[in-house]
Chain A
């Protein structure tokens, strides 16, 4: 039991938490953007899977992790393009298409993996960490937080970038309006469809990147269904965060700690079934909802396709 609180163990636990949190963070930030603009993006799990598969394939054949991230993001955008066409441009039901896309990409990525690698699961070399000088020398926290792949720091920086975007830029205001009162935005002379399309495509890029991180850095390989609900967690995070990117980060870290705890407990040989530990993050959020669950301030037009002149 004393091994549980050793410096090395705690450091590994925190490191694992950050690694597990990054895909959730990216997915959550992406979903948040869609939701702000009034699109409930249930297909995010599918976008992450496309990103994970294409990201892995890209990195595997090119040998470059960065190229992998690029192909991963592109994969997410490709799926988002279908979503944007069907749900934003012609206004099909977002839940039907979102679930259909998720199911389809679960199948498609598993299928492609089967025909490409058969039953083998080739691994990528371990991702190279960027060590931040000085900060990484802090005991426990240092090696856990400041020895990650560069993209981790970029993802965290993105949180603040998004916060700035939402509060201080015209595009941020447009996004907000597209979700709250699309008709007003239209009257102001700004194309609602285009604003929402931008939001959905950005979501695709972020989710794809999250998937690519999951496969390339987190696991180092691609296995079918690798996201295992991470996309749905992203939806939950975005809804809990109510439009504030920093809350997505905090939520992602909470989930990350719990996910990392699952593996850490196993390594430490503590005999609690993993299923029990897997319940922790969800339990935590449910308790939070029970205690502080006041009216969630979701955008007024969330989930409703915009049609010019209707109503």
Chain B
């Protein structure tokens, strides 16, 4: 069985953005996004006050380090790359009414296989070709990993929430096993994979430290958005998502589409892992799990599975996490406060959307 992932509101939002995006609408959206964020910052500020930290100083650092300092904004944009890929993958799954909650496992397996293959491949072929191969390997591994939940869902009707959750735990452990046993760098004592030399990683944009993975991520999410909204394939997936029974009646090959959705979704999550390794980290350490997948899920929902809106939310997430990390270092607040901040922002945004929706309805009535 599937749970209604596409609320009726998403259809109207879609029309609004694609057809008649008037200036007033955009202004309204902006207000409805910035207002709640301000409220969330005030609530989080109260928590900071309660533990004896000056919230203004904290937010000052967040803004400076996440948004306004040259180095900070470059880090923020770099952080966006894997998040964009993950968001793109989730958009495909959620629009098709399937819960892919296994993003973190797929991400890590993609990351580990990319980290294992890239340093070897760069020695035997030109680096652009090697990186391309690594990307494909990461994508393929993540796709294969998603086959089990996909086939179970498609042909046995086993709920994919259980299976993807199980597979994500399995994937996290398997990634660790691979790092510690198979792909371990023999030249260091720390359990980690071989490090990809900086000059072989994804080229940086212009004269900055921003990885070109950002462009790949943006391309991925925009392509996904266009495929889901403008193509027959996307329409089919949305029909499956909106009403699986109707989809069967209209002659769609639902099992095949289900497997395709999982493969695309997981493949993009695998690419997210690869882009983080090949672009930024260079290697995978044992027990590394940034859990990006979990944080991106609510963001994609709040964006109503709209690709362009998701870019905005991913940017916000990056600013908060990069800014929060350095603000925490400066002020002696544990890094974990970023989690609190992100969570309050998500909840208040969800509430604001509800209030907005209600307001619109009462105006129509």
**Chain A residues within CB distance 8 Å of chain B:** 40, 86, 90-93, 95-97, 99-108, 110-112, 114-115, 224, 229, 232, 235-236, 239-240, 273, 275-276, 278-279, 282-283, 285-286, 289-290, 293-296, 298, 300, 302-304
Contact check, A95 vs B340: say whether CB atoms are below 8 A apart.
no
A271 to B351, CA, bound (A): 51
Closest chain B residue to A310, Cβ basis? B8
Contact check, B347 vs A296: say whether CB atoms are below 8 A apart.
no
Distance from A287 Cβ to chain B, minimum over Cβ atoms (Å): 10
**Chain B residues within CB distance 8 Å of chain A:** 1, 3-4, 7, 47, 51-52, 99, 148, 152, 156-159, 161-163, 165-167, 169-170, 173-174, 176-177, 180-181, 294-295, 297-298, 301-302, 333-334, 336-344, 346-347, 350-351, 354
Contact check, A239 vs B51: say whether CB atoms are below 8 A apart.
no
Contact check, A86 vs B350: say whether CB atoms are below 8 A apart.
yes
Known contacts A96-B298, A100-B298, A224-B336, A276 near B163 by CB under 8 Å: no
Closest chain A residue to B153, Cβ basis? A293
Contact check, A96 vs B350: say whether CB atoms are below 8 A apart.
yes
Residues of B within 8 A of A114 (CB): 334, 336
Contact check, A229 vs B338: say whether CB atoms are below 8 A apart.
no
Contact check, A103 vs B342: say whether CB atoms are below 8 A apart.
yes
Residues of A within 8 A of B343 (CB): 100-101, 103-105, 107
Contact check, A275 vs B4: say whether CB atoms are below 8 A apart.
no
Residues of B within 8 A of A239 (CB): 159, 161-162
Closest chain B residue to A42, Cβ basis? B101
A289 to B337, CA, bound (A): 38
Contact check, B158 vs A99: say whether CB atoms are below 8 A apart.
no
Interface centre among B166, B167, B174, B301 (most CB of A within 10 A): B166
Residues of B within 8 A of A298 (CB): 1, 159
Residues of B within 8 A of A289 (CB): 152, 158, 162-163, 166
Residues of B within 8 A of A103 (CB): 294-295, 339, 342-343, 346
Kindly identify which residue among A92, A93, A108, A236 contacts B162, using a CB–CB cutoff of 8 Å: A236
A294 to B99, CA, bound (A): 18
- Besides A95-B298, A304-B3, 7 other A-B contacts (C-beta < 8 A): A86-B351, A93-B301, A102-B294, A108-B336, A110-B339, A285-B166, A294-B156
Residues of B within 8 A of A294 (CB): 156-158
Distance from A137 Cβ to chain B, minimum over Cβ atoms (Å): 38
Listed A/B pairs (17) with beta-carbon separation below 8 Å? A96-B297, A96-B302, A100-B346, A101-B343, A103-B346, A104-B342, A104-B347, A107-B337, A108-B339, A110-B334, A111-B336, A115-B51, A224-B336, A240-B162, A273-B176, A279-B177, A302-B1
Residues of A within 8 A of B161 (CB): 40, 235, 239
Residues of A within 8 A of B344 (CB): 104
Residues of B within 8 A of A99 (CB): 294-295, 297-298, 346
Contact check, A235 vs B165: say whether CB atoms are below 8 A apart.
yes
Distance from A283 Cβ to chain B, minimum over Cβ atoms (Å): 7
Contact check, A286 vs B163: say whether CB atoms are below 8 A apart.
yes
Contact check, A107 vs B298: say whether CB atoms are below 8 A apart.
no
Residues of A within 8 A of B177 (CB): 273, 275-276, 279
Closest chain B residue to A92, Cβ basis? B350
Closest chain B residue to A284, Cβ basis? B166
Residues of A within 8 A of B350 (CB): 86, 92-93, 96-97, 100
Residues of B within 8 A of A232 (CB): 165, 169
Closest chain B residue to A297, Cβ basis? B1
Closest chain A residue to B358, Cβ basis? A90
Residues of A within 8 A of B341 (CB): 107
Residues of B within 8 A of A229 (CB): 169
Kindly identify which residue among A95, A104, A273, A286 contacts B170, using a CB–CB cutoff of 8 Å: A286
Known contacts A100-B346, A103-B342, A232-B165, A273 near B298 by CB under 8 Å: no
Closest chain B residue to A94, Cβ basis? B3
